[in-house]
Structure 1
Amino acid sequence: MAGVTNAAFRALCLEQGAGLYVCEMITSRGLVEGDEKTRDMLVFSPGETVRSVQLYGVDPTYVGKATAILCEEYGVRHVDLNFGCPVPKVTRRGGGAALPWKRVLLGRILSAAVEAAAPYGVPVTMKTRKGLDDDKLTYLDAGRIAEESGAAAIALHGRTAVQHYSGKADWSAIANLVEHVSIPVLGNGDIWEASDALRMVSTTGCAGVVVGRGCLGRPWLFRDLAAAFAGEDAPPLPTLGEVAVMMRRHVELLASYDGEDRACREFRKHVAWYLKGFSVGTRVRTELGMLSSLDELDRLLAELDPAEPFPAHELGQPRGRQGAPRPVTLPYGWLDDTDGTRDELSAAELGISGG
């Protein structure tokens, strides 16, 4: 969710419902070495009473130092370690979804983060995938290592690295992990509606859910989730007019952090997600995709039919990137053993998120 879960979007989601909203992923090395871009990402809205950050790293020393910085300098109250990114430029250097194959290194990284966070009373969690592919599964070992390292919980995306975001998430793997560890397991994958979350918890026994692509252009999903878990009736689906109000609010929040010009440019990628399934003309969609000012946004939103109902055919449908399965690119000899050194991974820390 790089480039999506910034302070503005998290504030928008927080206005909708209960939940823990995680800052877009940062690299541990960038934070420790004072990289300006990395530091600039650590911005939080006034309403974020519990600051949560996803941290990416391949070196136990850097991960430990970065965790301490987050706790001490930024008041972060939850650190999540990302071991789920399937992007080739990360996995080919042994990072992301490739790293859990190296069980010893995984344990060292988790232990370093847990030990660094302990003096501040901050829980450390991790997110991972099932494994590299169906023949090279790592999630059960990862769960055991997370438990032994003192992690507070583990989130499992029910896809392998080969799948990327294609196909369907394997919720049975989540149920299997629940049976193998005593720490809470959070389920991830194919939570498109609040009913999906309830079904995942019911069928897998997981302690909660992690939402990714399902909230793209749909921040009200968290309102629906809060109602569902509270046993309340589902709120009515928003009309196009209500979606337009949400779009305007999103740009306002972005502008409050980055200024109007940058906010409009940043919002362009969200337009298709918000309008997915609605009968909005090509011209309006195109102009919104080239947005440059709030005045222009208001003019274009005024052309939408405020009474148009939410497109029911979009319910339960995937959002965001999907693609097709792709081979996992790994360092030479990566599969030869389940250990690993820090030197061979020194180039793996890139500003790439995912999972």
Structure 2
Amino acid sequence: MDGVTAATAPHPGLALGSLHVASPVVLAPMAGITNAAYRRLCAEHGAGLYVCEMITSRGLVEGDQHTRDMLVFDEAETVRSVQLYGTDPVYVGKAAEILCAEYGVAHIDLNFGCPVPKVTRKGGGGALPWKRGLLAQILEHAVRAATAYDVPVTMKTRKGIDEAHLTYLDAGRIAQESGCAAIALHGRTVAQAYSGDADWNAIGELAASVDIPVLGNGDIWEAGDAVRMVEETGAAGVVVGRGCLGRPWLFRDLAAAFAGEQVTTLPRLGEVTAMMRRHAELLSQHMGEARGCTEFRKHVSWYLKGFAAGGEMRRRLGLVDSLAALDDLLADLDPIEPFPVSELGTPRGRQGAPRAKVVLPEGWLDDVDGAGCVVVEDAAAGSGG
């Protein structure tokens, strides 16, 4: 692949308890995206930690089939990493034990950053850190269960519910006191969702306030952004989500940058179509060809972002139902069309608008402790986001 190269100082990698990650890069779990096929595709391009889609603790403990079906790992995954969602300390602890004992995971991440209204309405996701006591109980149960298997537990959160209700500094303190191996901070509030700019200053403030590693998340569109975030904030590493949509080769650039060589990969359209074919093939291997091709459809617009492929071609690719049909369509694209450099550094995936008000349980903001409070967690609805 074509590219631009410049030298930088090498990074020592990321230490999460006993787990060492050669490149301080974590693939953010994304619903419907970071399945086993996509994790393998990204990992084929560079070192990092590749996290499975979010799993609900109650669904796992109660044996929900949808939840169990999501815990699929590729044969090439030597380090199994799972993000766990939960609001009940006992369920989270039991789920952590199941992941360690039955699924051989090497890392568990706890989700306290989801901004989706159906989650915050019940006090979960990005709303939960407001209840400091409850947050501590959940983390302590998870860490206690995972420590028996020498598996590190991390947590991911946001700045807070909104600018008037910030929680990230308390969350960092609680994570450290509870024995978490690291904390990841998305530099936006729940109210912002994915709109506006990520606040990297908050990431730096958190990194300066705790002794455990802090991972920065938000507005990493190129490898240079990741390096700059680490340099400016003192973060130990980065979490990359939307920036890799339709660009699994971004992990090649990231690994190279943190190894001391800043690279910008500029694949021609023919190389992109080869990547699309590989992605669909991996999905088909894991899910069967019909479902795999259906799952692939959502990725088409991300792969072709900025390329000249017309609306009719995109429409037909969005209806593809077999690998043979995909091959026929991809063969009609111009293999030598250069990468649209105007797309470098630009947002990808969902953005939307900020929310006027975050949906919370009635009276949620009245109490900042929450220890012993009951937050209802659906056994299946949240798995995968």
Shorter-chain TM-score category?
over 0.9
Q: Report the CA distance between 1:353 and its aligned residue.
A: 5.3
The one-letter code of the counterpart of 2:235 is: C
1:152-204, Cα deviation, whole Å (9 max, x unpaired): 00000000000000000000000000111000000000110000000000100
Question: Could you say if the C-alpha distance between residues 353 and 139 of structure 1 is closer, same or farther in structure 2, counting changes exceeding 3 Å?
Answer: farther
Q: Distance in 2 between matches of 1:241 and 1:224?
A: 19
Q: Distance in 2 between matches of 1:341 and 1:111?
A: 12
Question: Could you say if the C-alpha distance between residues 105 and 348 of structure 1 is closer, same or farther in structure 2, counting changes exceeding 3 Å?
Answer: farther
1:331 alignment partner, one of 324, 341, 361: 361
Equivalent residue of 1:155, what SS?
strand
Q: Are 2:351 and 1:351 aligned?
A: no
- Give the structure 1 partner of residue 133 of structure 2: 104
Q: Is the 1:91–1:97 Cα contact (8 Å) retained in structure 2?
A: yes
1:32-80, Cα deviation, whole Å (9 max, x unpaired): 0000010011111111111000000000000000000000000000000
The one-letter code of the counterpart of 1:16 is: H
- Give the structure 2 partner of residue 188 of structure 1: 217
Q: Are 2:190 and 1:147 aligned?
A: no
- Give the structure 1 partner of residue 289 of structure 2: 260
Q: Residues 38-57 of structure 1 correspond to what in structure 2 (within 5 A)?
A: 38-57=67-86
Q: Is the 2:300–2:318 Cα contact (8 Å) retained in structure 1?
A: yes
* Structure 1 residue runs of 4 or more that deviate by more than 6 Å after TM superposition: none
Equivalent residue of 1:234, what SS?
strand
Q: Report the CA distance between 1:345 and its aligned residue.
A: 1.1
- What are the ranges of 5 or more consecutive residues in structure 2 without an aligned counterpart? 1-29
Q: Distance in 1 between matches of 2:364 and 2:210?
A: 27
Equivalent residue of 2:333, what SS?
coil
1:176 alignment partner, one of 205, 209, 213: 205
Question: Could you say if the C-alpha distance between residues 92 and 137 of structure 1 is closer, same or farther in structure 2, counting changes exceeding 3 Å?
Answer: same
1:196-253, Cα deviation, whole Å (9 max, x unpaired): 0000001000000000111111100000001111112515411111000000000000
Q: Distance in 2 between matches of 1:247 and 1:195?
A: 25
TM-score (norm 1): 0.98
Q: Is the 1:143–1:181 Cα contact (8 Å) retained in structure 2?
A: yes
Identity over aligned residues, as a percent?
Answer: 72
Q: Distance in 1 between matches of 2:337 and 2:173?
A: 50
The one-letter code of the counterpart of 1:335 is: L
> Counting helix residues as a fraction of each chain, which structure ranks higher?
1
RMSD: 1.1
Q: Are 2:217 and 1:202 aligned?
A: no
The one-letter code of the counterpart of 1:151 is: C
- Give the structure 2 partner of residue 25 of structure 1: 54
1:65 alignment partner, one of 94, 112, 135: 94
Equivalent residue of 2:129, what SS?
helix
Q: Is the 1:58–1:348 Cα contact (8 Å) retained in structure 2?
A: no
Q: Report the CA distance between 1:351 and its aligned residue.
A: 1.5
Q: Is the 1:94–1:348 Cα contact (8 Å) retained in structure 2?
A: no
> Counting strand residues as a fraction of each chain, which structure ranks higher?
2
2:154 alignment partner, one of 125, 129, 134: 125
Q: Distance in 2 between matches of 1:133 and 1:28?
A: 26
Equivalent residue of 2:110, what SS?
strand
